[in-house]
Amino acid sequence: MRRSLRHALTFCCFGLGVLTAAEPIPVGQQLADLKGRFKAQYDIEIRSAQADDKAFEAAYEVTPVAAANLSGTVKVLGWVEDELKRYPAGFLKHHGPRNLVLAEAFLPKRSAAGITPTSPSSFEFKAAEAIALTVPAKLTAVQEFFKARHIHQSLIGFLLQDHKTPAELISFDAWKKLPKASTASITPIGKRLAGADSRAALFGLFWDPFEHLDLLAEAKADPTIAKKLAVMKDFLASQDKGFDQAFFDQLAIIPESQRIVCTNDLTDLKSVDQIKKDPEIQADLRQIEQKWGITVLWAPGSPAPPMPAKVRLVYSYFTDKKIIQFKAFVHMLREELDMYPDAIVSRLGFGNIYILDEFTYRDVKLAGQSFSWIPKPAVAYGLNSFKPEDVASRAFFSRTTHHEVFHAMERQFTRSGSPLFGATWDALNEPGFKYRIGPNSVSAEGQPTHTKDNKGRKGFAEPYGMNIATDDRATMYARMMVADQVFYGRLATDPILLAKTNRLQEFFRNIRQELTIPASSPLYQMLARTPADAASAAPKGEAK
């Protein structure tokens, strides 16, 4: 599914009883109609800022919207209109700005030394009874998402300028005196609400259903955030009775259209010509597909990965702009996947491999994700941070390749009573340790510092493995598959890590015996390495 830019209007008319397509309404007329609706529904005038605009000249360098960007202006105003419609009827007429001022950029004239000024998406300008709104020369789907967030934050900032009396709980003086958490939050929501003035940030969280649900979960775990949430809701209800609980319940409903956001420009049909014509890239892709019996999805317009839950996925595929990065990864992927014997590959039954540029899930950038729960398992790799020239980066993505394949192998070959099954693995850990997620785990809710709390425990290749047993094993396996000399060196002083390594070796011996795989297989040659082998095989700086 692709979240497309809205407001590509289609109109029809009836002629002699036959439905025929009419000429599109000119953009100039669409803009005039928008201006009329903003005035009638919200009592807001729309105007364009000029380079010498008196209202802004003291603080901002203004770049006017170019005449050629009339269509972009209509799109941006359409996005804003969609957000304003969500407010209680009549609220903005009584409490909103009287003007919406447009420019391509508003660059602050004063900025910290060494900091390049950037134009905000929107901001309140109470002196002119206005909200300033930028209309970039080139629009993207990501800008649509951020425009929505920022327009709400600008609106609450505009409103709060009339509520500065310390006696008002919503005032800045009162807000900064609200109770603070005893320990700093490490969650994305907690960090955004940690500042002295987090009022606009909290209000902005209301309007995105994914963030709204995360906010409610955070409030359950942190009473200080629950208090801020209550203060904000009470304030809004005092301004308009439409801000009742039913209103907020409706904001928490996730529209399917907001689940998946593709950031590729799908109107650029020639964005992958170089990749398609590169013989080395295409040869590597063919070898992967033939060996694994799969489809490698990599071109813009390909389907989105099958994410498991109703959470936002933001993704993009590669274009020619990153052909060097793409080429290096595809070649590395082919070499890593070549190590797996056909007997194992055929049992895994993979369907697709997704090679993505941007891969953001719940606002967290991912390097890899295994979809081992679907009928034909799949793997997605996000290479936004991949640096082919960086040895450490290449090593990380090599490990990521094997980490994700391991999840599919574990699903296929793990049985009750096997070396990796349930409590037989968990019992190898230090007494008292429990994973954050999974059977017999501590509750994931309210455990944002789980890894920090367990710092220094023996038995883990990486702190990430403390979250869930499957990732504990996958992180170890990935280190073994790149001959990580630091990992192998730790086995001499970490008896728990050694015991887990032996358990993994037993798991793979059972697979080799079951499928009659020769010990000379490249996979088993890697798994049979000793610490000395690893030290001689790993390039300097590869192990982390």
How would you classify residue 237: left for phi > 0, otherwise alpha for psi between -120 and 50, otherwise beta?
alpha
Q: Give the pLDDT of residue 310.
A: 64
Q: Residue 7's pLDDT band (boundaries 50, 70, 90)? A: very low
Q: Give the pLDDT of residue 530.
A: 64
d(CA 447, CA 221): 9
Q: Is 503 helix (H, G, I), strand (E, B) or coil?
A: helix
Other Cβ atoms less than 10 A from the Cβ of 99: the count is 16
Q: Residue 445's pLDDT band (boundaries 50, 70, 90)? A: low
Name, of 147-161, 236-250, 349-363, 415-429, the range with top average pLDDT: 236-250
Q: Is 185 helix (H, G, I), strand (E, B) or coil?
A: coil
pTM for the full model? Answer: 0.62
Q: Give the pLDDT of residue 14.
A: 29
d(CA 167, CA 231): 13
- Percent of all residues in the chain with a pLDDT value above 70, rounded to a whole number: 87
Q: Residue 384's pLDDT band (boundaries 50, 70, 90)? A: very high
Identity of the residue numbered 348:
L
Q: Which CATH number is correct for 273-537, 3.50.50.60, 3.40.390.70, 1.20.120.420, 3.40.250.10?
A: 3.40.390.70
Q: Give the pLDDT of residue 142.
A: 62
Please answer whether residues 132 and 80 qualify as being in contact, where contact means their C-beta atoms are separated by less than 8 angstroms.
Answer: no
Q: Give the pLDDT of residue 192.
A: 85
Q: Give the pLDDT of residue 480.
A: 95
Identity of the residue numbered 446:
G
How are the residues of the chain apportioned to helix, strand and coil, as percentages rounded to the nearest 5? 45, 10, 40
> How crowded is the C-beta side of 442, counted as CA atoms within 13 Å?
17
Other Cβ atoms less than 10 A from the Cβ of 103: the count is 23
Q: Residue 418's pLDDT band (boundaries 50, 70, 90)? A: low
Q: Give the pLDDT of residue 183.
A: 79
**Domain ranges, ordered by start, for the chain:** 1-139, 163-258, 273-537
**Partners of 131 in the beta sheet?**
100, 124
pLDDT digits (tens, 9 = 90+) for 271-302: 999 999 999 999 999 999 999 999 999 999 99
pLDDT digits (tens, 9 = 90+) for 141-159: 667 767 777 899 999 999 9
Largest CA distance in the chain: 88
Q: Give the pLDDT of residue 477.
A: 96
Q: Give the tokens for residue 166.
A: 């310390």
Q: Residue 498's pLDDT band (boundaries 50, 70, 90)? A: very high
Task: DSSP for 86-153, please give it.
Answer: TSPTTHHHHHS-SEEEEESEEEES---TTPPP---SEEEEGGGTEEEEE--SS--HHHHHHHHHHHHH
Please answer whether residues 476 and 461 qualify as being in contact, where contact means their C-beta atoms are separated by less than 8 angstroms.
Answer: yes
Instruction: Pick the more confident residue, 142 or 209.
Output: 209
Phi, psi values for residue 38, rounded to 5°: -60, -40
